[in-house]
Structure 1
Amino acid sequence: MPKPIVAVGALGGTIAMSAPGMEAVKPELDAAALVASVPVLEDVAEIRSHSISNVPSPAIVPSNVLAALDFAREAVDSGADGVVLTHGTDTLEESAYFLDLLWDREEPLVLTGAMRSPNVPGADGPANLLASVVTASAPEARGMGVLVALDDTVHLARLVTKSHATAVSAFQSPGWGPVGRIVERKLRLMLRPARVFDPLPVPDVRDIEIPIVQSPFGDDGQWVTAIATSNPRALVIEASGAGHLSIPAADAVEELMGEGLIVVMTTRTGSGSTTEHTYGYPGSEEDLIVRGVIPGGFLNARRLRILLHVLLSSGMTPNQIRNEVQFRGE
């Protein structure tokens, strides 16, 4: 049997960084160098490598992600059975979800990175790249949307988050867990998503002008005035508990929505979902929904920001956006 074909596209990040000795690292390795550093990949698949960019996570912008989407589509259309993208871990979850909203192929698209650079003991990049190629080449991973593979665990892009600043096991799916694991160079897939969403239209390249604000203890809502002066396209609030604001903050947000701004809330806890009818006091989730705030469900603020960007770029009406956010956040 011929080996599967996996295309590897490199975008940069710690997995591609190096430096003499133990000095602070910078991006240096291209896609070919990354693949060459893991010779065992040849036992798993025929590898086709390509360098898309070579930048650290904070430098990734929508144009990089859309270039990666083009690369992945072209690779599949040219015969690849799956695609792997190497990426910095700081913003990997956002790029993965961005791509998940747009990916319109059955073939697996897998993102990976590294928490330790190649010049330090215990570097995890080679193992993560191998795990990702194994996942991308597995027939069982077809039709699951975009996946993230690190530390021999496989996660859905819509659930995974970087939960630790430095640990090798940083990537988790809070409240849900991974859908699969890599054991002896095989994908052990235990779960499949109950729903796979239809892809959304690819947005034009533009800045994501949607701020995220966390509502703290003793919130007087004064941040609303400052945000309004920047003319955002929408606003995402990390509210306390299951979706709660102080009365001053709730009043200020209602005034913003009266001017036509779309406002979506999520929980600031890092896990769980917003609710709709559990609490009924002023500033509670039920009160905020009546005022016009859209509950984000299980989607965290970073994902909601990306989703709103794509929905607004597609020209959806506010009601359509509300329905889409609630549907994807359930």
Structure 2
Amino acid sequence: MRPPVAIGALGGTIASTSSATDGTEIVPTLTAQRLAAAVPGLAEIATVRAETLAQLPSPSLDEPTVMRTLAWAQAAVDDGAHGVVITQGTDTLEESAYLLDLFWDRPEPLVVTGAMRSPQAAGADGPANLLTAVRCAVAEGSRERGVLVAFDDELHQARWVAKTDSMSTSAFRSAVFGPIGRCVEGEVVYGVPPGRVPALRVPPGQRAGDPRVPLVATYLGDDGYVLEALLAGGLDRIDGVVIAGFGAGHVSARMADAVGRLAGELPVVFASRTGSGPTGRAMYGYPGSEIDLLARGAVGAGWLSPVKARLLLWALALRGPVGPADVAAEFELRGRP
């Protein structure tokens, strides 16, 4: 008997079609059932239950939609699914996958995938990616790995994967640690043993979407204007701030002053905007360096990218106000390999 797999569709390029003769101006229109029906050989791998959860372009996804998707995926597993596949747009896929991963507490695989080319395009990659994702969802070796991203026959951990190209079908990469597996001739092969960081608990009765955690990227000549504006505007509607800093998480001396004042009021996390490598701990000592920011009460994101550091801080804030010690402990646990 073929193992049952639940497929939830959120929209994106993988589900987008065009009414134009040249195939431009695509928008999400295809249902989950039509996506699954278009994949050759899928019925030979799994018994699929496909459901359309949303038909949104990737930039319009938000945390409440992802949290509802999480609840749907958990219910699908509790109802007997051997694994779950989520299809969505690629622009926010690395973020959705990581937010799901933070709360995914089941041993069954939850696999996220999408496409860079629409179904009407020559060489559409959606069917192949969906087939790989389902193969991953039914593979015994995929259990106890948290949320995975399947793209271009590669399997990535949600914590490390990022979209690194705006157009290529090989857009997703795990810059430092690489993919953890591949799908070769229909077989899912992993190069590392199972294992994951314990999942966070969703607070009972908490309305997903309450926290507000801005992400501020620094730049040449940054004088801290944006952080000063946040301070001046009042912090009653902000639950924390993540800063995408230079190099190992550095900011200018003037911005460091604003970081210190902000960190006295709410959690501030600094991450590296480079796309690879961790924040520093003890190398530089000038104003705005990692040593200086830590001394001012900010927390380093470790190996997490700025967008994923923001999601972790958002997830922590979902449980209510969090102190500096709790934030530091969670980033120490989840921001390292």
User: What is the TM-score with the length of structure 2 in the denominator?
Assistant: 0.94
Residues 13, 28 of structure 2: 8 Å contact kept: yes
**Structure-1 separation of matches of 2:95 and 2:191:** 24
Partner in structure 1 of residue 75 of structure 2: 74
> Is the 2:144–2:195 Cα contact (8 Å) retained in structure 1?
no
Aligned to 2:142: 141
| 60-69 or 235-244, which deviates more | 60-69
Distance in 1 of aligned mates of 2:119 and 2:26: 9
Q: Distance in 2 between matches of 1:46 and 1:132?
A: 14
Q: 1:39 & 1:193 partners in 2: Cα distance?
A: 29
**Deviating more after overlay: 35-44 vs 229-238:** 229-238
Aligned counterpart, 2:8: 9
Secondary structure of the structure 1 residue equivalent to 2:278:
coil
Partners of 1:148 and 1:213 lie apart in 2 by 26
Per-residue CA deviation, residues 127-148 of structure 1 (Å, 9 max, x unaligned), is 0000000000000000000000
Q: What secondary structure sits across from 2:50 in the alignment?
A: strand
1:277 counterpart residue number: 282
Q: Are residues 165 and 230 of structure 1, via their aligned partners in 2, closer, same or farther at CA, if it must alter by over 3 Å?
A: farther
Give yes or no for the alignment of 1:214 onto 2:217.
yes
Offset at residue 227 of structure 1 (A): 2.2
Between the aligned partners of 2:58 and 2:234, the Cα distance in structure 1 is 25
| 1:71–1:198 Cα change, 3 Å | closer
Q: Which residue is 2:207 aligned to? A: 204
Identity of aligned residues (%): 47
- 1:300 is aligned to 305
What residue number does 1:129 align with?
130
Q: Tell me which residue corresponds to 1:182.
A: 183
Contact 2:249 2:270 in 1 (8 A): yes
Q: Does the C-alpha gap of structure 1 residues 84 and 190 become closer, same or farther in structure 2, counting only changes over 3 Å?
A: same
For residue 282 of structure 1, report the CA deviation from its aligned partner.
1.9
Q: How much is the aligned-residue C-alpha RMSD, in angstroms?
A: 1.4
Unaligned runs of 5+ residues in structure 1 are none
CA distance in 2, matches of 1:165, 1:208: 29
Residues 97, 146 of structure 1: 8 Å contact kept: yes
Q: Return the letter of the residue paired with 1:3.
A: R
Does the CA contact (< 8 Å) of 1:102 and 1:199 recur in 2?
yes
Deviates more, 1:5-14 or 1:310-319: 310-319
Normalised by the length of structure 1, the TM-score is 0.96
Aligned to 2:53: 52
- Of the structure 1 ranges 96-105 and 194-203, higher mean CA displacement relative to structure 2 is found in 194-203
Match of 2:327 among 302, 306, 321: 321
Residue of structure 2 equivalent to 1:289:
294
- Count of residues in correspondence between the two structures: 328
Letter in 1 for 2:326: Q
Aligned-partner residue type, residue 335 of structure 2: G
Indicate conservation of the 8 Å contact 1:62/1:207, yes or no.
no
Give the superposition deviation at 1:194: 5.5
Q: Give the stretch that moved more between structures: 35-44 or 155-164.
A: 35-44
Is 1:248 matched up with 2:254? Answer: yes
Shift of 1:206: 1.6
- Per-residue deviation at 1:96? 0.5
Find the aligned partners of 2:84 and 2:67 in 1 and give their Cα distance: 15
Change (3 A) 1:142 1:194: closer
Given the superposition, is the C-alpha separation of residues 111 and 195 from structure 1 closer, same or farther in structure 2, using an over 3 Å criterion? closer
Does the 8 Å CA contact 1:108/1:143 hold for their aligned counterparts? yes
| Amino acid across the alignment from 2:201 | L
Shift in Å, 1:320: 1.0
Q: Which amino acid aligns with 1:323?
A: A
Q: Secondary structure at the match of 1:49?
A: strand
Tell me the alpha carbon deviations over residues 200-234 of structure 1, each in whole angstroms, 9 at most, x when there is no partner.
32552225511111111222122212222163211
- 1:266 maps to 2:264: no
Q: Is the 8 A contact 2:160 2:174 kept in 1?
A: yes
Cα pair distance change 1:171/1:208, threshold 3 Å: farther
Question: Which deviations, in whole Å up to 9, do the C-alpha atoms of 1:77-117 show, x marking residues without a partner?
Answer: 11110000001100011111111011111000000000000
Q: CA deviation at 1:301?
A: 1.0
1:48 partner letter: R
The CA distance in 1 between the partners of 2:298 and 2:195, in whole Å, is: 27
Distance 1:66 1:327 in 2: 22
Q: Which runs of 4+ in 1 moved over 4 A?
A: none
Amino acid at match of 2:276: S
Q: Hey, what does 1:39 align to over in structure 2? A: 40
Q: What is the CA-CA distance between 1:304 and the residue it aligns to?
A: 1.1
Shift of the alpha carbon at 1:239? 0.9
Question: What is the SS of the residue equivalent to 1:251?
Answer: helix
